Amino acid sequence: MHTKLLLTASIALALAGNCFAAVKDGSYTTTVTGHNAPLTVTVDIKNGKISDISVKDLESPGVGKVAIKQLSAEIKDHQTTKLDKISGATITSFSLLGAVKQCLKQAGAQGDEFNKPLPAADKSPIKDNADVVIVGGGGAGLASAVSALRNGASVIIVEKLGFLGGSTNVCGGALNASGTKYQKALGIDDNPQKHFEQTMKGGHNVSDPKLVKVLADNAPSALLWLESMGLKFNPKVGAATGALFQRSHYPNPAGGNTYVQVLEKQLQKYGKDKVRVYLESRATELIMKDGRVVGVKADNHGKPLTLIAKNGVVITTGGFGSNVEFRQKVNTGVWKEADLGKEIGCSNIGVAAQGQGLQLAQKAGAELIGLSDIQVHPNGSPGTGLMLDIKTSGRNRLFINTNGDRFVNEGAARDVLSKAVFAQPGSTYWLVQNKLRYPDENAIDLLSGRTMRDMLAQGRVKKAANLDELAKIINVDPNRLKAAIESYNKVARHEVETDQFGFKANHTDDRPMTEGPWYVARKVPTIHHTMGGIHIDTGAHAVNANGQRIPGLYAAGEVTGGIHGANRLGGNAVADLMVFGRIAGKNAAEAK
């Protein structure tokens, strides 16, 4: 009996020692729910180990796709699925790890052979220093970093997400600039003064005109600055949702991640002695000395970081659109009569839009202004608020309510559009487009950066051959739907100058919508931008309530206030972060 027990124990130990014994070589595939769409994951097993992971996905460039690449490499390197999720791409991370586990189970994995924890991370404190420390590695942070580097400074970027680019990665990418060669080629007459006036009007005339003038005057040179780095713009100038004019320039390929890639490539040209990036690192405090901001304290999953700035600190942490409690607390402005609670989603990356940069600046003495100026966008996807699928940007798209009627001037400002949606049954509507916007279902769309074929495959966009079929899909009276579309077409054909909602066909893309196929998706309002924030002057210096500069502190992008007033024009956000990001980086680099 004793001999038998020893033999059994010896066999068990041998099997335990060979942790891959039960796994069969081969390729194993599964499909799981992702963030944007299903992920199809294939895991290859060779000699009992994970040799390759391939993924078919429609995740966002710069976000979900980065998480897939990083985690796939870590799984192969460490032969384990017990890994931390990538901050800012939690859903994609969770989906990928779950899919790999399913594939391993198909291969015969049992127990914890591919679920071993990594060795404990080193928690030793890190101290580092540079001329300029930038808090937040989104679009404004990257623009500030490149600007500071080009002006001779060394730079540290501290970013709480697991990747650079922040919510700029998932924005539409429209950049408003006036008098450009692209506008001139299309016969569009525009200038900075017109851009200034429309920005003031669109913001309900509560913006700081000095800041707006800097934005309008410097947007054209910001566009040229990006081109000098190799960024390509689509020659077709559009009008982002609520832009009020045809001055929205889109990168090629479309989407905000294109800006991020171009700026990241610029960083890569400098060595580690000039630029260092700390990811997964949340700034917790600004370091003050004799009334001056001289650095930043941060935390990297329990590892303390002390980052000293010789010249200055630039805060570029974005807005607070995903901080439900805070946005409800300050919602006393344009949307004071609306419930901006948890039922309303946010188009930005949730963990990136919490408003922590505002708290850091306020503790250092900076004034916060315009916090009640919150922007609601009409292009949200039900359930999440993400701006997926067909877009409200551009022209030749109709807002149709659940009764089958148009209900708003489709060329109006964003607050007008969103308020009109809130007034509809169920606070929802159908966004309707046709062959004009998608003449080729296999071509990449200028505004979404994706093909109609991919959008249809996901199921949120529906296709109809004609208006009768479309009416069945959205469950409305076909005659009522046809009458609604004809009211739009009369203006597009210039049979009338304007319709009952005030729509005018004053865009070079305006055409009658008559020919199928038709495409439709349901939309809801979503929190998109918070216009209030750190009070800055025209040099991107943070100032206190008396207008005095906080020595050593700068800010740029959505974390600032005063530029967009009570309503931001579509296409002005990218212009803002590029214009003021450049200014903040330059001034911080040259500070004494």
**pLDDT of the residue at 343:** 87
Structure tokens at 94: 């969770």
**Bridge partners, 432 (sequence order):** 398, 520
Neighbours of 402 (CB within 10 A): 15
In order of start, what are the domains of the chain with their CATH numbers? 26-107 (3.90.1010.20), 126-319+355-373+533-590 (3.50.50.60), 375-526 (3.90.700.10)
Q: Which residue carries 């995740």 as its tokens?
A: 59
Give exposure, 556-576, as e/b (b: 16+ Cβ within 10 Å): bbbbbbbbbbbbbbbbbbbbb
| 346 DSSP 8-state letter | B
**pLDDT of the residue at 16:** 41
**pLDDT of the residue at 370:** 97
**pLDDT of the residue at 388:** 85
Neighbours of 479 (CB within 10 A): 12
Hey, which residues are catalytic here? 414
Residue 85, CA distances (Å) to 67, 112, 337, 576, 586 in order = 8, 19, 38, 31, 35
**pLDDT of the residue at 36:** 82
Residue 129, CA distances (Å) to 133, 228, 267, 339 in order = 8, 29, 17, 44
Structure tokens at 159: 């970013």
Residue 452 backbone phi and psi in degrees, to 5: -65, -35
Q: What is the block-wise mean pLDDT of the chain (592 residues), using blocks of 10 residues?
A: 37 41 91 90 97 94 95 97 95 96 95 89 95 98 98 98 96 96 98 98 97 98 98 96 96 94 97 96 98 97 97 98 96 90 91 96 98 95 89 94 97 94 96 96 80 89 98 98 97 96 94 97 96 98 98 98 97 98 98 84
**Bridge-based pairing state of the strands 275-278 and 155-158:** parallel
Structure tokens at 283: 């700034």
Q: Which helix (H) or strand (E) holds 368?
A: strand 368-369
**pLDDT of the residue at 21:** 53
Residue 524, CA distances (Å) to 344, 382, 397 in order = 9, 6, 15
Neighbour-count burial of 10, counting CB atoms closer than 10 A to its CB (0-12 exposed, 13-18 middle, 19+ buried): exposed
**pLDDT of the residue at 384:** 86
Neighbour-count burial of 128, counting CB atoms closer than 10 A to its CB (0-12 exposed, 13-18 middle, 19+ buried): middle
**Bridge partners, 16 (sequence order):** none
Structure tokens at 431: 């966004």
3-state SS of 495-554? CCCCCCCCCCCCCCCCCCCCCCCEEEEEEEEEEEEECCEEEECCCCEEECCCCCEEEEEE
pTM score: 0.91
The beta-strand segments (E) located in 205-323 are 248-249, 275-278, 282-289, 292-300, 303-315
SS3 326: helix
Among candidate residues 367, 389, 335, the one with its CA nearest the CA of residue 529: 335
For residue 580, the number of C-alpha atoms closer than 13 Å in the C-beta half-sphere is: 37
Q: Is the dihedral of CA 136, 142, 144, 146 positive or negative?
A: positive
Q: Are 467 and 515 in contact (CB under 8 A)?
A: no
**pLDDT of the residue at 242:** 93
